[in-house]
Structure 1
Amino acid sequence: MKIYDSLTKTTQELKVTNNQIRLYCCGPTVYNYIHLGNSRPSFTMDFLVRFLQWKGIKVDYLQNITDVDDKIIDKALAAKQSETDLANFYTDAYLEDLSALHIQPPTKLIKVSTVIDLMIEFIQKLVHQGDAYLEQENVFFDLNRWKGEYGKLSNRTLDSLAVARIEPETNLKHHPADFALWKKTEVGIKWTAPFGIGRPGWHTECALLNDFYFNHQTLSIHGGGVDLKFPHHENERIQYLAANNRELSEIWMHNGHLTFNDEKMSKSLDNMILVRDFLKDYHPDVLRWLFLTTAYTQPLDVSHDLLTQGQKFLDRLNNLTKKAKQLTAFNQLIDESTKESSSHFLERFNDFMNDDLNTPLVLSVLEQAIKAINKDLMKDKITPDFYQLKTMLKVLGFSTSVNLAVNQEEKSLFLAWKKALEQKDYKNADTLRSQLIAKGLL
């Protein structure tokens, strides 16, 4: 499988060792419900993980939960509740949203608050090596020591960042771009460390978690949104590189940002759509389809027209199932599913997914399969194409599928409706038809 690597700016072959890969994707800062933009990295990883698992590859997938952060502290203070209660509430909400979207949870989720001692040890190591320095109970990473490496991920140079405001303005840093590993604080939750009383900086948690959980081994893939490339991923990479003298990840996999009707989703524009609000109006598979329409590396504009197309796609799947079930109930379906497929939908699906998750072409294969199956059903037959479509939908994580099985109750209802029509008992036929529609069978 080939995947585009943001660090080398080239497409790289995914290395699989002992039939397993190590995967990390940055998780949420739990101070609010997630919005559609937050969900895109989760969907991207879900497509990847499900596909690799289908190929028999084990994916050890780690994700963090940032439950220690200034945003959490500010919101908790405003709401007059504890930061822990606030963070736990939104952590549960995040997991509920993943489940509602039919996204598989990571192999391991780690809350930052549970690894503070490990983060302190990690920071101490960097200070001891001379890669970080202590200033008035704050600890900063010394970027001058890594001038030749820093900025490669985001295509920046340290000199170009000399006047950048990356952290809140302070005269404590040796270089304006140096970032905090430990912050002295008197507000909100804090811990006692050798450096003083405070809490860790955001950029250290992911470096430490990967170092700890994967036992100093380089990741196969590091995922996340393009908005995190700088400064978060840049700072994460340089800390891991300093601590281990090796790259954090073989492949950096960044997904593009989301816009809504050609405007970037942002709080200032008040156009962010929460996942749970979206699901009040749309089936979760509409959003899954939406993220398949565009290459994950590219920006994606969410429009009402596109959402309508997504709903029509689900309608086509449901209508196909209704036709297949009706033919099954009437014993009219000719089973040719054991014959060799001439369409090779599954082979093409595999090729496109292997090509850096080329999901727009994958969707074209699904559409071609739907058309082919409808033609087969017009001839009262079922071919391997039906089951290949079913497999592709499952691998892509759709909860909507295609099905031809009918139970005895459904079959009896279909046959009673057919008999009423044949006997021209239209009143009873209309009643039975209404029941079939209510059950989603017509």
Structure 2
Amino acid sequence: MKLYDSLISNFKEIDLSKVLIYTCGPTVYDYIHIGNARPLILTDIIIRYLESMDIKYKYLLNITDIDDKIINKSLEKKISEEDYSKKFTKAFLEDLDFLNIKRPTAVVPISSKINEILFFIDNLVEKGFAYEKSGNVYFDISKWENDYGALSNQNIKNLNIGEKIKKDENKKNPQDFILWKKTEIGKKWLSKWGLGRPGWHTECAVLIDDFFKTSINIHVGGIDLKFPHHENERIQYIAKNLRELSDVWLHNGHLSLENIKMSKSLKNTILVRDYVKENGSNSLRFIFLNSNYKQPLNINQELIDYSKEWILKIEFMLKTINWSTRVGELILTNNTPIDDNFNSYKYLTKFKKFLNDDLNTPLVISLIDEMCKSINKQIKNKMLDSTYLKLKTILKTLGFSFEIKDLSNKDIDKIKKWREMISKKNFQKADKLRNELKEENII
């Protein structure tokens, strides 16, 4: 599989019998929004595709349950940080299910890895890559000037104290970042440097180091995390292990809502659970797949409406095949689809080719449209070849989920009666039966 590596700004080939994947998970201080869902669905496509190819994988997702936002929210709500973070961790896992996302190999809350974090930080201090000052521990960027900034393509000398680098008199260099934070507020743990809690940038490096015991193959995350989070995560891992963290850094583009960048701070987000309730999970998956994962994506009502129309078109076709084959109006064969020159339509070969080419899902969507066009023609001719089965394979691999009812004898009798009423031109009774069948999710 060829993927675009943000570190080298070029494509890299991943051809392994087992793939190690890490994706940055949520900070559980609120429900996730659809922007947070983009890297999760991107990773879901990868692991589903690997499964379809019988390639093994290990996929780790973190949960940030130690954070200033959680502390502030729990104080505001007058409940413990632990109870607050557990509530939204549970909500996050529910949202994964709402989105039909396969559960990772492991989902690890960072609060369960404090000992590992302390060991990791102490290792960096002993090697001279981190230092303690007033109970805080900082990573010393000056020791890694030639490596730091490579991921985000920035020169360390041009980095100034600004929005993303807070001024701190304890730092040797303005760009140094905190690994262990002395704190008086919120939950804290005892370390050799005093009471405190871990810095955000350390947790991902520690989890990868602890879980995989080696470098990983694919690191997934949103483009907004590239600097400073991924940059800081990467440099810590390199400092401890003297090797690159990941073969490929896969970054998805950010989301906008009506041309304004989606952000919780701007309060212009759509919660995943609200979106799914209103539009269905297939709709959001289609929107993401119908655009290049690297590109920014603007969500608007026109796009949502289009996605729902596309999903309904597929669903209607699948339901039609389901009932019409059961009542004998459509014959399903295993014939290979061929063109006018008797050449085979190699749909699955094309599908794999597109996904292998940096997850070119827009071309896959075009391929599905082409297959549906062929299938609808075949439905009219009452004879269906293996295009249908191949389509189902592709839809499943992409993570689309359609509720196609397993028809009972009673359902089949009702369908036959409906078709009979149509043939007898008893349209009033036919319409009544049709409405009943629609309500029962059969047609």
TM-score, normalised via structure 1 length = 0.96
Calculate percent identity across the aligned residue pairs.
43
- In the aligned structure 2, how far is the partner of 1:114 from the partner of 1:405? 43
Q: Is the 8 A contact 2:337 2:387 kept in 1?
A: no
| Other-structure match for 1:9 | 9
3-state SS of 1:115 partner:
helix
Q: Is the counterpart of residue 42 in structure 1 residue 58 in structure 2?
A: no
| Other-structure match for 1:242 | 239
- In the aligned structure 1, how far is the partner of 2:405 from the partner of 2:192? 66
- Bigger mean CA deviation after superposition, 418-427 or 281-290: 418-427
| Other-structure match for 1:359 | 361
Q: Deviation of residue 340 (structure 1)?
A: 5.3
1:58–1:76 Cα change, 3 Å: same
| Other-structure match for 1:331 | 328
RMSD of equivalent CA atoms: 1.6
Q: Is the 8 A contact 1:4 1:12 kept in 2?
A: yes
3-state SS of 1:39 partner:
helix
Partner of residue 316 from structure 1, selected from 299, 313, 318: 313
Name the amino acid aligned to 1:275: V
Q: Is the counterpart of residue 218 in structure 1 residue 220 in structure 2?
A: no
Equivalent pairs, count? 438
Q: Deviation of residue 332 (structure 1)?
A: 2.6
1:438–1:404 Cα change, 3 Å: closer
Partner of residue 51 from structure 2, selected from 43, 46, 53: 53
- Which 5+ residue runs of structure 1 have no aligned equivalent? none
Q: Is the 8 A contact 1:62 1:109 kept in 2?
A: yes
- In the aligned structure 2, how far is the partner of 1:431 from the partner of 1:26? 51
Q: Is the 8 A contact 2:336 2:387 kept in 1?
A: no
- Bigger mean CA deviation after superposition, 419-428 or 149-158: 419-428
- Which 5+ residue runs of structure 2 have no aligned equivalent? 339-343
| Other-structure match for 2:292 | 295
- In the aligned structure 2, how far is the partner of 1:269 from the partner of 1:68? 23
Q: Is the counterpart of residue 381 in structure 1 residue 383 in structure 2?
A: yes
Q: Is the 8 A contact 1:162 1:175 kept in 2?
A: no
Name the amino acid aligned to 2:402: T
Q: Is the 8 A contact 1:330 1:415 kept in 2?
A: yes
| Other-structure match for 2:271 | 274
Name the amino acid aligned to 1:333: L
Q: Deviation of residue 329 (structure 1)?
A: 3.9
Q: Is the 8 A contact 2:354 2:361 kept in 1?
A: yes
Q: Is the 8 A contact 2:325 2:332 kept in 1?
A: no
| Other-structure match for 2:341 | none
TM-score, normalised via structure 2 length = 0.95
| Other-structure match for 1:91 | 89
- In the aligned structure 1, how far is the partner of 2:6 from the partner of 2:89? 29
- In the aligned structure 2, how far is the partner of 1:404 from the partner of 1:200? 50
Q: Deviation of residue 404 (structure 1)?
A: 9.7
| Other-structure match for 1:107 | 105
3-state SS of 1:254 partner:
strand
3-state SS of 1:163 partner:
coil
1:308-338 CA distance string (max 9 Å, x none): 1111111111221233234324413233323
1:52-99 CA distance string (max 9 Å, x none): 111111110011100011110111111111000000000000000000
Q: Is the 8 A contact 2:6 2:151 kept in 1?
A: yes
| Other-structure match for 1:172 | 170
Q: Deviation of residue 405 (structure 1)?
A: 6.8
Q: Deviation of residue 151 (structure 1)?
A: 0.2
Name the amino acid aligned to 2:191: A
- In the aligned structure 1, how far is the partner of 2:425 from the partner of 2:365? 43
Name the amino acid aligned to 2:122: Q
Q: Deviation of residue 280 (structure 1)?
A: 2.4
| Other-structure match for 1:412 | 413
